[in-house]
Amino acid sequence: VVSTGTWLSPRRWLNLQEYQSKKLMQESGVAVQRFYVADTPSEALEAAKRLNAKEIVLKAQILAGGRGKGVFDSGLKGGVHLTKDPAVVGELANKMLGFNLTTKQTPKDGVKVKTVMVAEALDISRETYFAILMDRSCNGPVMVGSPQGGMDIEEVAANTPELIFKEVIDIFEGVQDDQALRMAANLGFKGPLQRQAADQIKRLYDLFLKVDATQVEVNPLGETPEGQVVCFDAKINFDDNAEFRQKSVFAMDDMTESDPTEMEAAKWDLKYIGLDGNIACFVNGAGLAMATCDIIDLHGGKPANFLDLGGGVKERQVYEAFKLLTADPKVEAILVNIFGGIVNCAIIANGITKACRELELKVPLVVRLEGTNVHEAKRILTESGLPITAADNLDDAAKKAVAAIKK
């Protein structure tokens, strides 16, 4: 799974499937398992025959983790299967493609599998961890590695910090031979494997630069009994500011598993996350949005969503936000909590009154406004004649929103 962006970024995260990440790695000369992609059972069978491998691994391609322990609504257990018989690949693909796979990270109904990856299964005699990431404290990229791979790296860092190795990369010079060899040695590669691992490290750095990544994480970077160094699983994070020059990468973005409401919100530079409560929150700023959700909870209510308006707000965004909130059948009240610094409260007030009239708002609306142009904003709301409940502060607003539902 590949993702990008930060909590504060207005664009949605970039999602690439596993086979797409492997393709990018392959194009940079990074050693990955031989693989094919199939959309039908017959294609999967043909791919398995073409591989001509001792053992084949079939993987359902969805963005969620935990595929190996997932369950299909066809009855098949597990989204990852090993077999030596190509015919079995066709049979398994028949129970995967077109069916929903449910894992601990998917919605409860699962996600429909439209593609499978048919790959050569390789034995791993040893697993290591390797990553390249941007580090602010070093003003550039840093290599991080550990001979303890194939597990949670945070656990390794907490329990055995001496097994975490770092190398700062000079952004102008790139990865030097001695750095790559030293990291390979620290990862436990010996003899000819050390040089092979160092070569893979340099190729991974080339990929890091080529695709404008903020992180390339390989876990595990493995060693096979035949003496190969192979990148078995990778996660790539991209710099979304580089989208203008990474059009081919961003064109691979798989939106089929994204929440339609979140995608609609992103069109209007709104950050939306659906929750399971009944009080809709409309807030500017991620911190304030989280605080609003907490205070609703404190007063016995449950937030229906997290909706962050951000800074450079326009009336149309307010209107579109209300459209999203009112389209959710779970919503029984709306709480608007705006602290106007960059945001002009009067723009919010005009957007609210327009939305209330045009959408014929049917649920109670509680509004707390503070900051820039707040007196004008309150005048607009008062003179609108609309049934809007004003609140003095966040605590008051949360109490009134919860009370409105209990009436």
Q: Binding site for GTP: residue ranges?
A: 33, 66-68, 122
**Per the omega criterion (within 30 degrees of 0), is the bond before 225 cis?**
no
Q: How far apart are CA 292 and CA 52, in angstroms?
A: 58
* 361, two tokens: 């708002």
For the packed helices 345-358 and 315-326, what is the interaxial angle rounded to 10 degrees? 50
Of 18, 120, 127, 217, which residue is the catalytic one?
217
Q: How far apart are CA 271 and CA 278, in angstroms?
A: 18
CA distances from residue 388 to 362, 366, 375 in whole angstroms, order as listed: 11, 6, 16
Residue whose pair of structure tokens reads 């030293």 in the numeric block: 182
State the binding site for substrate.
284, 341-343
Q: How far apart are CA 2 and CA 160, in angstroms?
A: 27
Of 129, 205, 272, 319, which residue is the catalytic one?
129
Is residue 226 annotated as a catalytic residue, yes or no?
no
Name the maximum alpha-carbon separation found in the chain: 81
Is residue 129 annotated as a catalytic residue, yes or no?
yes
CA–centroid distance for 241 within its chain: 16
> Are residues 149 and 222 in contact, defined by beta-carbon separation less than 8 angstroms?
yes
State the binding site for Mg(2+).
219, 233
> Are residues 72 and 112 in contact, defined by beta-carbon separation less than 8 angstroms?
no
* 401, two tokens: 């929103």
Query: How does DSSP classify residue 258?
Result: S
Catalytic residues: 129, 217
